[in-house]
Every structure is written in C-alpha cells, then in structure tokens.
Amino acid sequence: MAGSELTNLKSPRVKAARRLTKRAFRDQDRKFLAEGPQAVREALKLDGVTLELFTTAEAELRHPELVTEATLQGVPVHRASGEVLAELSQTVTPQGLLAVCRLVHVPLEEAVPATPRLVAVLAHVRDPGNAGTVMRAADAAGADAVVFTDASVDPYNGKCVRASAGSLFHLPVVIGTPAAVAARHLRERGLRVLAADGAGKHTLDDVDLSGPTAWIFGNEAWGLPEEVLAEADDVVRVPIYGQAESLNLATAAAVCLYSSARSQRVP
C-alpha cells in the first residue's frame, strides 16, 4: 500500500485517472476505468490488465482479498479519500474501488475462433447501459465474441463497463469494425448472420437456430439501417405474445442469444 492517503483532487495521479472518463483520452492513453468490486475482481484475473488500484479505507476492509491480489501482482495500490473516489467515479454512490486498466479489445480476426458457434454484433447501439447488458447476456449465453461496430458506443464507457458486470473481461471484444465488414467476415467463418429487428419477416419460432449464428442488434429507437439489414441472411423478430409494444434492446438481445444457445445444445 502506497504511503499516505490521497486527498488532493488536483494531484497528478488523480488527474491522470480522471481524464480516462473521456473517450478521447482513453483512446490516447490506451487505458480505461473499471469501477466496483466485481469489475476489479474480473480485471485482476487477467495478467497485466490492471495497472493501478484506488481504494478507500472502508472498501479495503470490505474487500481485502482484492487489495491483496493486486499487491501480489505488483499493481500499485493507492488508498484514497472518499472525495477522491467520488471525483474518479461515474456513479452517484461510489463503491470505493476503482482500477485503471489497459484496453482489452482485439482485432476481429483474432476474436472469432476457427469454428465459432455464437457471436453478438452491436450496430449503431448508442446507449452504454444497453450495450453493457448485451455483453453480459452474450457472456452468459456462451458467445464466442462481441463486436462493437464503428457506429456504436465505446465499450469502455464507465456505464457500459459497469453494466457488463465483468463480462468485458471474459470474452473477446472487437471495436470500430464497420457492420458490413463484420457481417462478411462472420459469414466467411461459417456463421449464419441474423439481424434482430421488430419488422422482421420471420420470428424466433420460425427459424432454425441450431447452427452457428451471428446476431446483429441495432439502436433501440430506430432499429437497424437498411444497409445493415441488407448484409444479413435473414431478419428475425422476437414474437410478442402479450400486449407490450416491444422489448428493449438488451432484453430482446438476451432472448435471441439464449434461443440460439439452447438450440445449439439440444441433442
């Protein structure tokens, strides 16, 4: 544990971490912030990902195993005041633990294995909470990778990282790839590319999901652009059996991903 408690909001160390709340600086420094015990725990499981750890005295008492693990890995641990953690935090109620991590995304060619089964593609998804929840659902469904197209939110956005609940560190993540390029590459890898859209001609009940599948999910407000829909092998909608007008993006994505995962596992 580094010497005295950090209390100065204008100290170089605090300022260097604080700038990572902005995407331009994350891209420039090749670093991002992972906040909360779950995110820190998962980050520490990957060699060389965690670069620094900030913790309050209270959080250190609640999660001594995380501080111990960081110390064993040679990660600098900074005890900081609640005011400093609040300055670095992007939540209303900071949890007192925050890691500075190196970016973990990989190129599309490396993310998708030779024989993939399930991939999620986020095209024009702008809401970070939705995007992070889709990552979490993809992880739970056993997806091979998640692709963020060039028109989607930054997966290192603080809200997106929190919503992923550690899944950002569990599966390969690709960023910045045009949707058309992603669709063609995934098809070349043997995946059937399905676009999830409320105006789809077929429903989940109509299509065979037992084979390798890549799902493309779009913006909750306006769906997928025509040029993205044109890249899909089929456009599929989630059936609505009740009176709800629609499902939100994260819920619909979870239904689609689990439908594929279960169909692929049926003997």
Domain ranges, ordered by start, for the chain? 12-102, 108-265
Q: How far apart are CA 157 and CA 127, in angstroms?
A: 10
Q: For residues 204 and 256, is the Cβ–Cβ distance under 8 A?
A: yes
Q: Distance between alpha carbon 159 and the CA centroid of its chain, in Å?
A: 10
Choose the CATH number for 12-102 among 3.30.1330.30, 3.30.70.100, 3.30.530.20, 3.40.470.10.
Answer: 3.30.1330.30
Helices (H), the chain: 12-18, 23-29, 37-44, 57-62, 64-72, 82-88, 108-111, 128-140, 158-164, 179-188, 226-229, 249-265
Q: For residues 135 and 173, is the Cβ–Cβ distance under 8 A?
A: yes
48 sits in the region (left: phi over 0; alpha: psi -120 to 50; else beta) called left
pLDDT of residue 1: 53
pLDDT of residue 245: 85
Q: Which amino acid is at 113?
A: P
pLDDT of residue 2: 46
- Pairing label, strands 234-237, 173-177: unpaired
pLDDT along the chain (267 residues), means of 10: 77 95 97 96 97 96 97 96 91 90 97 95 95 98 97 95 96 96 95 92 93 94 86 94 91 97 91
Q: Among residues 101, 133, 104, 129, which one has the least CA distance to residue 120?
A: 133
Measured between its terminal Cα atoms, the distance across the chain in Å is 53
Tokens of 52: 């620094």
CATH architecture of 108-265: 3-Layer(aba) Sandwich (3.40)
